[in-house]
Amino acid sequence: MATQSKSQFLNDIHTHLKRRYKPKPDRSPGRLSILEAVVYGVCHEDVTREQANQALSRFKDEFFDWNEVRVSPIEEVREALADIPDPEGRAQRIRRFLRQLFEKTYAFNLDALAKKPLKEALKTLQPYEVFKSDFVTATVIQLALGGHAIPVDESSRRALGRLGITEPDVPSLRAVLERAVPKNRGQEFIELIEELAHDTCLPETPECPRCELRKLCPYAQAAKEAAKGGGKHHAAKPADAPPAAAKHAEKAEEKSKAAGKDGARKASHPAPDPSPAPAPASSKKPSARGPAAPEPPGPPKSPPTKRGGK
C-alpha cells in the first residue's frame, strides 16, 4: 500500500465489500426530515441500520406525535428502543432534544433549515445538545440537509482502524473519508463498512478468515505473519496490528474450520461490546457520542394543541 493513495485504497475496500454485502437500498432510511434524522442518528450509533429503522418506525407508529414523545415517561420512550443497547441513555437524549426544541420553537419542525445554506443550518442546530455528537451531526447532514457527510461511529472506526485508516479523533477521520470518498458513494461506502463491522470485524476477535478484505487488511496480514512465525521470531507488525492479533487470527481460523465452511454469516448482529477492541495502537479514540448531560428539570407544560412535526 506504500504507493497506493488513500482514495484508491478506500475505493478497493468499497469494491470488495460491495461484492460481499450487495447494498440493499430498502434498508437505507432514504431522505428524512431533520427531526427524524436526529432521532435516527441517536438510534443508529453502533447498531445496525435495520435496528435503527425499526426504532424510528416504532416512534412514528406508537406515539401520536413528537410532542407525545416529549411528555412521555422515560420508560415509555425506552420501549421504542428496547432491542438496541443503552435504551435508557438514547431515550434520555431523544427526549431532551425534543424538550429543547419545544422550548426554543414551540413546534416540532425544523425543515425550513433544509432550504438554508448548510453552514447556516448547522449554526442554528449546534446549540442543541444532541449535536455535540459528531455522528448525529453527520447523519443529519447526510440524510436531511443534502450535504456530503460520512457518519462514523465506534464500530466503523474500529474496522477502519484495523484497515489502517486511523486519525486521532472522529471528526478528523470523517474529514479524511469525506475527502477521499465522493459524495455520490459516501452513503453506500459507510453502510458497507457498518456491515463489515457488525459481521466479521467484531470487537473482541475479528473473523479475518471469512472476511472479504483479508488480503488488503494490514491487521489480518500482520496476524497471519505472526502466526506463521509461531512466536519464534518477531513478525513485522504494522502499528495497527496489536500483539494479540496472531492469537485472535488463530482462534478465528479454528472457529471457521469448526464451522465447516466459510460464509455462515450471523443473522443478527451482537450488540457492540463496550470494552475496546484489540485496537491498533494508533487508534485510541474518544467517543463520538456527545457527553451525557444531566436531565433538565421537569418538562414545561405542554400547550394543549401543539402537534405536528412528524
Nearest C-alpha neighbor of 63 from the set 31, 28, 35, 100: 35
Question: Closest approach of Cβ 200 to ligand SF4, in Å?
Answer: 4
Scanning 22-30, 104-112, 211-219, 227-235 for contacts with ligand SF4 by CB under 6 A, the matching segment is 211-219
Among 29, 206, 272, 280, binds ligand SF4 (CB under 6 A): 206
Rounded to whole angstroms, how far apart are CA atoms 310 and 65? Answer: 6
Scanning 50-58, 99-107, 202-210, 286-294 for contacts with ligand SF4 by CB under 6 A, the matching segment is 202-210
Binding of residue 13 to ligand SF4 (CB under 6 A): no
Residue 150 or 163 with smaller CB distance to ligand SF4: 163
Largest CA distance in the chain: 75
Rounded to whole angstroms, how far apart are CA atoms 164 and 160? Answer: 6
Residue 86 or 195 with smaller CB distance to ligand SF4: 195
Q: What share of the chain is helix, strand, coil (3-state, %, to 5)?
A: 55, 0, 45
Among 193, 217, 246, 277, binds ligand SF4 (CB under 6 A): 217
Looking at residues 134 to 193 of the shown chain, list those that interact with ligand SF4 (rule: CB under 6 A).
Answer: 159, 162-163
Among 81, 211, 235, 279, binds ligand SF4 (CB under 6 A): 211
Scanning 35-43, 149-157, 173-181, 206-214 for contacts with ligand SF4 by CB under 6 A, the matching segment is 206-214
Residue 100 or 256 with smaller CB distance to ligand SF4: 256
Give me the helices (H) in the chain, please: 6-21, 34-44, 49-62, 66-71, 74-79, 87-105, 118-125, 134-143, 154-162, 170-180, 183-199, 218-229, 245-258
* 162 touches 240 (CB < 8 A): yes
Rounded to whole angstroms, how far apart are CA atoms 185 and 309? Answer: 30
Binding of residue 213 to ligand SF4 (CB under 6 A): yes
Binding of residue 17 to ligand SF4 (CB under 6 A): no
Binding of residue 222 to ligand SF4 (CB under 6 A): no
Looking at residues 71 to 130 of the shown chain, list those that interact with ligand SF4 (rule: CB under 6 A).
Answer: none
Binding of residue 241 to ligand SF4 (CB under 6 A): no
Rounded to whole angstroms, how far apart are CA atoms 200 and 195? Answer: 8
Question: Closest approach of Cβ 180 to ligand SF4, in Å?
Answer: 17
Residue 125 or 211 with smaller CB distance to ligand SF4: 211
Question: Closest approach of Cβ 246 to ligand SF4, in Å?
Answer: 12
Which residue's C-alpha cell is 502466526?
227
Helix pair 170-180, 183-199: axis angle to 10 deg: 130
Scanning 63-71, 123-131, 134-142, 217-225 for contacts with ligand SF4 by CB under 6 A, the matching segment is 217-225
* 164 touches 238 (CB < 8 A): yes
Binding of residue 277 to ligand SF4 (CB under 6 A): no
* 207 touches 172 (CB < 8 A): no
* 96 touches 129 (CB < 8 A): yes
Contact positions toward ligand SF4, by CB under 6 A?
159, 162-163, 200-201, 206-208, 211, 213-214, 217, 219-220
